[in-house]
Every structure is written in C-alpha cells, then in structure tokens.
Structure 1
Amino acid sequence: MSLPQPVPPSWKDLGKSSNDLLSKDFPISGTVLEVKTSTPSNVTFKVNGTRDNKSKHILGDLEAKYTDKAHGLVFTQAWTTKNVLKTQVELENQIAKGLKLDLSTALTPDTGSKTAIFTTTYKQPGLHSRAFLDVFKVRGLLALLAPPSPRTPSSAGTASCSVQRRRTTSRRARSPSTRLRSASAPEYAVTLHGLGNLSTFAASYYHRVNPDVEAGAKAVYDTKATTQGVSLEVGAKAYLDSAAFVKAKINNSGILALGYTQSLRPGVRASFGLALDTQRLNEVSPEGPAHKVGASFTFEG
C-alpha cells in the first residue's frame, strides 16, 4: 500500500531555508520599527516605519487585517506614506478544497495609477498549480508546480517538483526556460536552479548542524553579467539561548555582515546589524559609505 502523495511546495519555497538564513535578521540598510496589535474580533493592526540610511527618508504604512477562519476569508487594507492604497481579499477552501482565490489591488490617487492582480492557487496531492491575471493588462501566466511531462506546453512558465518528506527526497523539474534539482532531508536541503533560458545558474544548501547551529551558502553564475565569475555567499546562525541568536555572513566581495537578535520580553524583539567592507578597513577616508549599521524593533501584542 503506497503512502499518500504530499502536495509539492511552491516555487518560491524551494531553497527558502538557505535564502532566509542569508537574508533575514540583517537590518543594515536603516532603522525599522514595527508595531502590531490584535483584537478579540480577529482584526490585526500593524504600523511599519523604515528610515533609509542612504536617502534619509522615512517610509511607512498602516495596515488593518480581518480574518474569518470559519469562512476562509482574509481582508487586508493598507495605506502607505507614498499615498498608495492597497487592498487584498483572500478566499480559501470555500469553492473547492485546496483552491485559494486572491485579489490584490493598489491605487495611487495622486497619479491615478492602479493595478489589480487576480491569483488562483490549487493544491492537491502531487499537484501545486498557480495562475494569475493582471486585470488591467489582461495577461495571465500559469505555473505548474508538479511532476512535468513531455507534453507540458511552453506557455506553462516554470515548473518544479520538490517534496519535503521525512525521508531524503531528490526530484528534478524542467520547463523550456528552467531546470531545477532539489534534495532534502530533515537536517539539510540542497537546491540547484537554472533560470532565464539557462543563462543564470544558482546552487544553495542549508544544513542544521545541531539544534543550536545552522549553516548555509549560495552560489550564482550569471552568463549575462558584466563581471565574470561566480558570486558566492556563506553564512551561519547560532542560538545563544532561547531568547537570543547571532548571525554572520560574508561574500566573495569581502562584505561581512553581522546580526544580533534579542527577545526582550514576550512580543518585544530587537535586532541590530552591521556590514563591513573588509577590503576597505584600513582606508582613512574611504569614498562613499564603506560600512553600514542598522537596527530593527518589533512590538507585538
């Protein structure tokens, strides 16, 4: 008797562990403040503000989200400091099991600019499909995230099949413009990508060394890039205790990034980041910003 086939992950989730390790919790571009509160009536309010170190500008947004789990409905409304009104309506598992409908709109009253993207996602054992339609441009794209077949049409966009399971998994996926191979186990994940008609190649790995230490790396080779060679980045994360961890990463350009995150109390978290150009440490007066520093504060209640 065969086991039920799991739902394949979405394309963006492939290599997610490595990407999160190398990109998150490094607040080096400025200062970020996020305040989030929830009400007993399933309404969540969030205020987010960011001060960019380079431009010195402060950008932010105010967001309200209503969730009705009984009917699979999520309604989100946001207003940004650039005077952009954003609305998102999500409906899941109501019309059919595994089907999710999503309508995301944005309106800029100052210029009259507007966008509306309608997305459908359908998940079943062995199948993960996604289709979206730009309402104002009337252009759709279908991406099938399931085991491909020779009859897969060229309009299907990208395809992938990689399933996270308790045993080691190794799958391959192909489309006219993309190749992918992924292997995973509970303690590691390896992903290979061939993108843009095989003009860009990427390889990444993530390894949970032990419960307190994680490591990962990513290499990218772009045949169309002006600079030759492979871009390489490697990083690690170590938990100091149950409330704090440190992260570090360095790339082949000599940029070293350090991050420290501390939970001060339930719902309150602070992160600090530092980026150093190790090739310019001895310069007395370097041209341009050689090093960066930033912080992030999150309050949730």
Structure 2
Amino acid sequence: MCNTPTYCDLGKAAKDVFNKGYGFGMVKIDLRTKSCSGVEFSTSGHAYTDTGKASGNLETKYKICNYGLTFTQKWNTDNTLGTEITWENKLAEGLKLTLDTTFVPNTGKKSGKLKASYKRDCFSLGSNVDIDFSGPTIYGWAVLGFEGWLAGYQMSFDTAKSKLSQNNFALGYKAADFQLHTHVNDGTEFGGSIYQKVNEKVETSINLAWTAGSNNTRFGIAAKYKLDCRTSLAAKVNNASLIGLGYTQTLRPGVKLTLSALIDGKNFNAGGHKKNSITTCWSWRRPLRG
C-alpha cells in the first residue's frame, strides 16, 4: 500500500528542515497526559519576548475505539470554545468523517465545518464544507501517487459568489532519501522545494518561490545535523540575508531545550537591530500514561 500524503503534506519533509529546530522570540511549553479512564489532556502555552504577549490552549480527547469515534474539546486564551467529533474507518476502510464547531461566548459567534477524507492504496482525497447559511465555501483536494510520483489538486469554491476562489496544482517525486515538490497557486504563484537526506545525521533542503508579474523571488537553503541521539544543529539562510541558527538538546525524556538566533546578515554588526536576536525555547512534554 502506498503512503500517499494529503495535499497540505506535499513537500512536508523540506518544510520541516526549514521550520523545526527554531523558536525565535518565544518561550513555549507543551504538556500531555492521560487519565486512567482513557481521556487525553494536552495543553500548550507561548510567551513572546518582544511583545510580552502570552497565549495558550487546552485540549481534551476521548476515544471510543469500538465505534471508531473520537470526541475532542478545545479552549484557548482568546476564549474560543471548540468541539470536534470524528468517525473513522467504520463506514468504509480509510474513510474519515469530522464535524468541527467553534463558539465565542463573548460575541455569540458560531462556526462549523463538515470534513471528509478518504485514503486507499495510491490516492487520497478530501473535502471540507463551511456551515454557513448565507453561502458555504466548499474546499476539495486530491492526490494521486504512482511509483514515487505524486500529483495533487486543491480548490475552493465560494457558493455565495459562485466563484472559484482557489485553484492550485502540485507535482512531485518522493523516494526514500530524496523528495522534489513543485506547485502553482492560482496561476500566479510558483514554488518548488528539494529535500535530500544525505545520511542518518544530515538533512538538507532548498526552497524557491516567485510571483508572476513581479521581481520578488524568494530563495532559501537549510540544513540539519544530528550530533547524537540527543543533540542537533540547524541552520538556514535566504536571499534577504536573514540567517537562522538553532541548537536543540534533549535534557531528559520529554524535556527539550532549544537555543536559536536570527541574524540580519546585511546589518551583522548592528546589535540593536530588531532582526538580530538570540532566544531560548523550552519544551516539556510528559509522555502519555495508560
């Protein structure tokens, strides 16, 4: 059976090399645990050092495996409540149905989505529909895979305006240690990425993007190096001369420390420049019990 990703996960390996291992300007903590009755609790908090703003969220999840049901409740510091009900692999193998709702008590605003996804062998597809009586927006995507090649399409249709508001294509190739991904968004935004796993310790990635009708081309390279099973180094640079450096150390199971720096290469000696910063990010994750 082929492991065909969703449309959003196309090129994920390259994105992870660019995004993981950095924590610019924030302190973060993640906590997870599980009660004896099978209820999973997870919470996370962020504090941004430049603005002093803090945010957090709490999530509880309960699974009824015999019926393929999962109930999830969410709350965040913006006082938004969310409820999600998922039914998976019961009506058909690989079929997942989800009802996702949110409610803001302060304003009385309500919203919801119906989601469906289906994965079998070498394809995956899905659709989301906003619950909006004034005219729902319909989202859809599909990915086909054959001998390492991947082709995907993503769209959204605004029924209130009878207009196609999103029209994206993607093409890529995936092997054990190499991935190539290209995409076109709405016929105006073009992008591509290359991921290469050199060996068990070294991963590299290249990212390129540009917009039709402008000279704004974005280019970046990134690499990750594992010193050992507990320590890793990360580095990236883009065509704007922004340099990112990261150091991650697992102090003990579930406790991780990340030191990261963002440097403006054009103003390297300007220590007071807002883009020259060194920050610390703590992550504590308690393994699930039960």
What is the SS of the residue equivalent to 2:285?
A: strand
Matched, 1:194 2:184: yes
1:179 matched residue in structure 2: 169
2:144 to 137, 151, 161: 161
1:12 matched residue in structure 2: 8
Give, in angstroms, the shift of residue 124 of structure 1.
2.1
Paired residue type of 2:96: K
Q: Distance in 1 between matches of 2:11 and 2:252?
A: 31
Give, in angstroms, the shift of residue 142 of structure 1.
4.8
Paired residue type of 1:291: S
Instruction: Confirm or deny: 8 A CA contact 2:112 2:131 kept in the other structure.
Output: yes
Identity, % of aligned positions: 26
2:109 matched residue in structure 1: 113
After superposition, the C-alpha distances for 1:166-188 in whole angstroms (9 at most, x for unaligned) are xxx23445689333221121010
What is the SS of the residue equivalent to 1:65?
A: strand
2:18 to 18, 22, 33: 22
Give, in angstroms, the shift of residue 216 of structure 1.
0.5
Q: Distance in 1 between matches of 2:212 and 2:266?
A: 26
What is the SS of the residue equivalent to 1:91?
A: strand
2:207 matched residue in structure 1: 218
Give, in angstroms, the shift of residue 144 of structure 1.
4.2
Q: Distance in 1 between matches of 2:201 and 2:261?
A: 22
Give, in angstroms, the shift of residue 8 of structure 1.
3.2
Q: Distance in 2 between matches of 1:257 and 1:124?
A: 39
Give, in angstroms, the shift of residue 292 of structure 1.
4.9
Give, in angstroms, the shift of residue 275 of structure 1.
0.9
2:149 matched residue in structure 1: 170
Tell me, which stretches of 5 or more residues in structure 2 are unaligned?
156-166
1:57 matched residue in structure 2: 53
TM norm structure 2: 0.87
After superposition, the C-alpha distances for 1:266-288 in whole angstroms (9 at most, x for unaligned) are 222222221111211222643x4
Report the count of equivalent residues: 275
Give, in angstroms, the shift of residue 95 of structure 1.
1.8
What is the SS of the residue equivalent to 1:241?
A: coil
Instruction: Confirm or deny: 8 A CA contact 1:170 1:182 kept in the other structure.
Output: yes
Matched, 1:36 2:19: no
Instruction: Confirm or deny: 8 A CA contact 1:247 1:259 kept in the other structure.
Output: yes
Instruction: Confirm or deny: 8 A CA contact 2:7 2:153 kept in the other structure.
Output: no
Alignment map for 1:115-130 (pairs within 5 Å): 115-130=111-126
Give, in angstroms, the shift of residue 290 of structure 1.
3.5
CA separation of 1:134 and 1:39: change in aligned 2, threshold 3 A: same
CA separation of 1:58 and 1:96: change in aligned 2, threshold 3 A: same
Give, in angstroms, the shift of residue 81 of structure 1.
1.2
CA separation of 1:251 and 1:224: change in aligned 2, threshold 3 A: same
CA separation of 1:173 and 1:113: change in aligned 2, threshold 3 A: closer
CA separation of 1:103 and 1:283: change in aligned 2, threshold 3 A: same
Paired residue type of 2:34: S
What is the SS of the residue equivalent to 2:198?
A: strand
What is the SS of the residue equivalent to 2:221?
A: strand
What is the SS of the residue equivalent to 1:41?
A: coil
2:160 matched residue in structure 1: none
Alignment map for 1:262-273 (pairs within 5 Å): 262-273=249-260
Q: Distance in 2 between matches of 1:111 and 1:273?
A: 39
1:203 to 184, 192, 202: 192
Give, in angstroms, the shift of residue 25 of structure 1.
2.1
Give, in angstroms, the shift of residue 224 of structure 1.
5.5
What is the SS of the residue equivalent to 1:17?
A: helix
Paired residue type of 1:193: H
